[in-house]
């Protein structure tokens, strides 16, 4: 049975004091349901968050990393450094990284390799833009993103891959894919993996949905057969909202 996972991507929000405050509130929420719960604070607050949550079931992920392990890359952080402070999970390929920092599938393939080499688990984000959907190319776009960044991996590597399908038009816009649209795409993604790696690998991969998930729509989306959880942006900045989403699986 694949895992239910709810991950909060804090993006460039929360200074040190805000991070401590939100973590205090998250730790008051005792009921984690059956989902693995992950938060991804900014790099500068990552170690503090990791330390503060060491006595809790909430895990901590990084939002990004550089593809090289070390070297003259001013301002960058490597997989090895993340691993060195105890971080086990990294988000790669978020649409904001692709759009604002020009991350390509080819670059992401290198980041994926470096993360796996350093025994990090990856939450790999991908998804189509609005125009792709209007042009009915959304399936092609998503299949290409997966092929280019992940399909060079061998079968075993997939136990460390979590997928996050995030239609770009639904991120931070308040517009969500309907539960049916989410299911349709998640099923397509699982079938795409099955055709390359076989059904067993496809059935074992958790596929999260991301894009304006809120307490009011989480249950409907998470109820779909191929949706195994969510990557949550805005609603992860409030402990009550985030845990309502975490617990959406149980209701
Ligand atoms: P959102 O962000 O929930 O604010 O739409 C999701 C994401 O960017 O992962």
- Model confidence pLDDT, tens digit, residues 40-60: 999 999 999 999 999 999 999
Give the distance (Å) from ligand 1 centre to CA of residue 72.
Answer: 32
pLDDT of 38 over the 60 cut: yes
Between CA 208 and CA 222 the distance in angstroms is 9
Both tokens assigned to 65: 């990393």
Between CA 87 and CA 75 the distance in angstroms is 19
Q: Which residues line ligand 1 (CB under 6 A)?
A: 9, 166, 171-172, 210-213, 231-235
Catalytic residues: 94, 166
| pLDDT at site 1 | 74
Sign of CA dihedral 112, 115, 118, 119: negative
pLDDT of 233 over the 60 cut: yes
Q: What angle do CA 115, 107, 208 make, to 5 degrees?
A: 60
Between CA 196 and CA 135 the distance in angstroms is 26
Q: Is 54 exposed, middle or buried (0-12, 13-18, 19+ CB in 10 A)?
A: exposed
The CA R_g of the chain, rounded to the nearest whole Å, is 17
Between CA 39 and CA 61 the distance in angstroms is 6
Residue 251: pLDDT band (50, 70, 90) is low
Instruction: Specify the DSSP class assigned to residue 66.
Output: B
Give the distance (Å) from ligand 1 centre to CA of residue 168.
Answer: 9
pLDDT of 101 over the 80 cut: yes
5 closest CA partner among 36, 26, 32: 36
158-190 pLDDT tens trace: 999 999 999 999 888 878 889 999 999 999 999
pLDDT of 201 over the 60 cut: yes
Give the atom of ligand 1 at the shortest distance from the alpha carbon of 234: 4
The protein residue whose alpha carbon is closest to atom 3 in ligand 1 is 233
232 closest CA partner among 173, 154, 171: 171
Task: State what percent of residues in the chain have pLDDT above 70.
Answer: 99
The protein residue whose alpha carbon is closest to atom 7 in ligand 1 is 233
Task: State what percent of residues in the chain have pLDDT above 90.
Answer: 92
- Residues 72, 58 contacting (CB under 8 angstroms): no
| pLDDT at site 132 | 94
Both tokens assigned to 64: 């990004």
User: Pocket of ligand 1, candidates 177, 233, 238: which has the most ligand atoms within 8 Å of its Cβ, to mutate?
Assistant: 233
- Residues 162, 206 contacting (CB under 8 angstroms): yes
| pLDDT at site 161 | 98
Between CA 240 and CA 222 the distance in angstroms is 18
């Amino acid at each position: 049975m694949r895992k239910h996972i709810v991950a909060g991507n804090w993006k460039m929000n929360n200074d040190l004091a805000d991070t401590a405050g939100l973590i205090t509130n998250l730790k008051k929420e005792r009921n984690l349901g059956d989902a693995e719960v992950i938060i991804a604070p900014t790099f500068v607050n990552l170690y503090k968050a990791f330390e503060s949550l060491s006595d809790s079931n909430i895990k901590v992920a990084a939002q990004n990393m550089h593809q090289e392990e070390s070297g003259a890359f001013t301002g960058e952080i490597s997989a090895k450094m993340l691993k060195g402070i105890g971080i086990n999970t990294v988000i790669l390929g978020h649409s904001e990284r692709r759009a604002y920092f020009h991350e390509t599938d080819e670059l992401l393939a290198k980041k994926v390799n470096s993360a796996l080499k350093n025994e990090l688990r990856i939450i790999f984000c991908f998804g189509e833009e609005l125009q792709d959907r209007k042009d009915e190319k959304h399936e092609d776009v998503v299949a290409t993103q997966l092929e280019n960044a992940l399909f060079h991996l061998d079968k075993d590597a997939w136990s460390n891959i979590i997928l996050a399908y995030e239609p770009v038009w639904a991120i931070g816009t308040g517009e969500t894919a309907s539960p049916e649209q989410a299911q349709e795409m998640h099923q397509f993604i699982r079938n795409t993996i099955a055709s390359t790696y076989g059904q067993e690998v496809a059935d074992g991969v958790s596929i999260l949905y991301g894009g304006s998930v809120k307490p009011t729509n989480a249950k409907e989306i998470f109820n779909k057969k191929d949706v195994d959880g969510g990557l949550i942006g805005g609603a992860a900045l409030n402990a009550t909202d985030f845990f309502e989403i975490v617990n959406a699986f149980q209701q």
